[in-house]
Amino acid sequence: MPRQASPPSARPYRGRFAPSPTGPLHLGSLVAALASHADARAHGGAWLVRMEDLDAQRTVVGAANQILQALPAYGLQADEPPVWQSERQALYPAAFERLLAGGHVYGCACTRREIADSVVNQRLPRYGELIYPGTCAQGLPPGRTPRAWRVRVPDASIVFDDRLAGRVEQNLAREVGDFVIKRADGQWAYQLAVVVDDAAQGVTDVVRGADLLDSTARQIHLQRLLGLPPPRYLHVPVVEAPDGAKLSKQNGAIALSLDADEIALTLARAAAHLAKVGLAGC
Ligand code: GLU
């Protein structure tokens, strides 16, 4: 399907690349960066870089700097200095308090094992993410204390138009369940931070890997509860490793080289991937 141009908006185009510094840039992450950069340039918009480094356990020392060094070497020059989520921690509590005050959030005592053992997950085995069965939605079981904090979700379809995939619908209650916005380790969850930051940075267009298509309905739900303007979305099919999974450092992605010949070759491979998935303009 051809990429839809971003429909006109009252807000000036602002796009972003938001890597998690879990390793150096590789072909897969370069494709996402290149697509968002090209889309911003095609719309005469600004392109920002945000380091999503809230998850200290997954953050790899030195990876953020490697990414920030590689991007301009690959011709991807941000229009503003990069922002770091770890330095924006003051923004997230206000959103959390607002959701709490609206009765949208509750404390949850469940462990991962308890959630995995629940009837809903036994009946509907899923790979990866578990559906939250709602055990603590009406209050904590006696004697238990909250570990994580979850936002309630509606039993109704959230519908949005992805600029490449077209119309997408997801029923969060059936497919995800109430989801975590503050984790058991006290950290703000990606879903909350990304929504708060995209709004705070005036992001109008999110262009990112299709592995995040499944997170988009959750983010739209939070935007609606917080009264934040929704960005437009374009999810780019991911580069696959030989095993068919998303290319990542776990299945052999190689760190991008800063050698000039390698840069030209890798950019050509990234552009070929974008052309193959119907994003020839990128
Ligand atoms: N930090 C996320 C990742 O590297 C991407 C977040 C986003 O683009 O919304 O997978």
pLDDT digits (tens, 9 = 90+) for 164-215: 999 999 999 999 999 999 999 999 999 999 999 999 999 999 999 999 999 9
Average pLDDT estimate for 225-252: 92
Instruction: Examine the pLDDT at 1 and tell me if it is beyond 50.
Output: no
Contact 125, 140 (CB under 8 A): no
Of 32-36, 57-61, 250-254, which range is least confident?
Answer: 250-254
Q: How far is the CA of 123 from the centre of ligand 1 (A)?
A: 30
Please give the structure tokens belonging to residue 48: 């920002």
Q: How far is the CA of 20 from the centre of ligand 1 (A)?
A: 6
pLDDT, greater one: 213 or 282: 213
> Does residue 18's CB lie within 6 angstroms of at least one atom of ligand 1?
yes
Q: What is the mean pLDDT of the chain?
A: 94
Q: Exposed (0-12), middle (13-18) or buried (19+): which is 204, by Cβ within 10 Å?
A: buried
Confidence band for 129, pLDDT divided at 50, 70 and 90:
confident
- Judge if pTM exceeds 0.75: yes
Please choose, from the candidates 212, 189, 245, the residue with its C-alpha nearest in 3D space to the C-alpha of residue 35.
212
Rounded-to-integer distance, Cα 193 and Cα 54, Å:
9
